[in-house]
Amino acid sequence: MTSKDLVIRFVTSSRGFFVIEQIMEGTGLSRRVIKRVLNELVAENCVCQISKRDPIYSLDYEHTARISTIHCTDWAYSIEDCEKLMWALDGRYIRSIRALAAKIGRSRQWVFKYLEALISVDAIGIRKAGYYVTCYENMYKVGTVITKGIIKQKRLECGVKYTPNRKKKTKSKNHR
């Protein structure tokens, strides 16, 4: 049995995440050999490296990065969802949260939370024409700093006026 077969057998038997040290203990192979085999498996899309900083691996691709924050107790931001929101804004100016929510098929509250987080890290900006993408690299900082009320503040800075929803007065024919 080759070293690649040993690593594959260990990886398929493990549940969830694994690191190189676990494979070393389970197979008895050296770190250099395991790194070489894992790089081959990543290139073949059999295994994915979850973290770019730490060598944490997973067998399936359902473990995407979700960033939890201290600002919202039960809220976690997904990089994939941030990309989806930013791609919807790329090259377009959408003025309302409602229109953006309809475009990507999410709720207005969800879009508001993500916009607030992305504007806080300067990944998305606001002009009079609408929301726009400023920097894709800042998307990975989402959730680190969230400034409450930043959307209203940025709208006031760029000159977008707040228009509350007003009920239209209708005249009935019976009351003149």
Q: Report the C-alpha gap between 102 and 77 in whole angstroms.
A: 20
CATH topology of domain 3-58: Arc Repressor Mutant, subunit A (1.10.10)
Q: What is the DSSP track for 131-176?
A: EEE--SGGGGGTTS---TTHHHHHHHHHTPPP----PPP---SS--
Report domain extents, the chain.
3-58, 66-158
Whether the domain at 3-58 and the domain at 66-158 fall into the same CATH topology: yes
Residues 6+ apart with CB under 8 A from 13: none
Q: Do strands 56-58 and 17-19 pair parallel, antiparallel, or not at all (unpaired)?
A: antiparallel
Per-residue confidence in pLDDT tens, the chain, 176 aa: 788 888 888 887 776 778 888 888 888 899 999 889 988 888 887 788 876 667 788 876 555 555 555 555 567 788 888 888 998 888 887 888 999 999 999 999 999 999 999 999 999 999 888 899 998 888 888 888 888 889 989 988 888 776 666 666 666 666 55
Whether 123 and 117 have beta carbons less than 8 Å apart is answered as: no
For the domain spanning 66-158, the CATH number is 1.10.10.10
Q: Report the C-alpha gap between 93 and 109 in whole angstroms.
A: 19
The reported pTM is 0.55
